[in-house]
Chains A and B, each alone.
Chain A
């Protein structure tokens, strides 16, 4: 009898643990928002985190953006050429980058470059009892350590996505116009005629903002919640990358379904 009920009990325990962890994450997120005063009052703290998560991610974002744009230029030209409409190459490159690839790929890169670093840093702070020491000195670790990192991530994500898209369009221009020889005038004018500010650019910006919130919140929570052991920190870092990548792609689907439903 007990052996029969054991899998059921395990399932029940997993569910309860999952729900309580979700509730803990929600309360943690709320606590960050409520104690953000220090992050803006002492903006130097946030600037320091902007350097670590934003400026140091620039290289990977810019280089990946350039290559993604160049590949789009090559592949797009191959396909469009069969229909004799190479001049819409600019539209293809710009729309794919601004609507989808810019926000999504930049967020994936940000999650693996900056998100994992945030988790490891906070997890180690917890393991070496630095957070507990702060509490002993009546310094709130969420206000002093967590909130500045959160706002730095939220601020830098849209900027990184914008840089990624701009760099990608430059890459597409490089391959399409300079290398292959698509007409430069129609490349830009078709792009301007078909890319809408609200429909495409603003929606892409909103997407990257949402991804920034999601990735940073997941990274901070995993770090804060990590078991204070070497194994625990390494597991938390892995979970950050996996969970935030899945969250980015799932959120992307939901946001796209809401934003571009009426377009066609």
Chain B
């Protein structure tokens, strides 16, 4: 094996290795998303964030427009304070609302931004006033059972019986 061929083989190896790493970074990973472009930060207070995690997507109309930067707790209002960093390309009206939604039945949680109608746009450090908390399954079942018990169950023969029990 002479020197020239040795160099060529090693060159090929290094090019293939770097190519594989580039493939992982660009095609497999999500390097080309919001994190690299310029962004601005807004905050929102929620009563309950459920299972929301840092780096969860922020979506508007289903499109990812930013990511959750940090989650903290506000001990004055006893609410969760979520900091989101949004892509600078997208501006949202000042009266936009944020809700914590779940993708699919068992999917991860994300923040849905619903655009408002205000002329003034949200800028760095602003707070989203209108928020909707995460749906906690236990509360939902509790509410369902409660409303079921209050509601007159028409069509059942034991209606009177049930009302008596409810009282």
Interface residues of A (CB under 8 A from B): 44, 47-48, 50-51, 54-55, 58, 94, 98, 156, 158-160, 162-163, 165-167, 169, 188, 191-193, 195-197, 199-201, 205
Contact = CB atoms under 8 A, between A and B. Distances in A.
B99 to A, nearest CB: 20
A192 B3 CA distance: 41
Interface string B17-33: 11011011101111100
Interface of B: 1, 3, 6-7, 9-10, 12-14, 16-18, 20-21, 23-25, 27-31, 35, 55
Nearest to B9: A55
B7 A169 contact: no
Interface of A is mostly: helix
A129 B98 CA distance: 75
A165 to B, nearest CB: 6
Given A47-B6, A192-B27, A195-B29, A54 B21 contact: no
Contacts of A156: 13, 17
Given A51-B9, A156-B13, A205 B28 contact: no
Given A48-B6, A197-B30, A162 B24 contact: yes
B13 A195 contact: no
Contact of B29 (A48, A159, A197): A197
Contacts of B12: 55
A192 B23 CA distance: 11
B13 A165 contact: no
A169 B13 contact: no
A191 B28 contact: yes
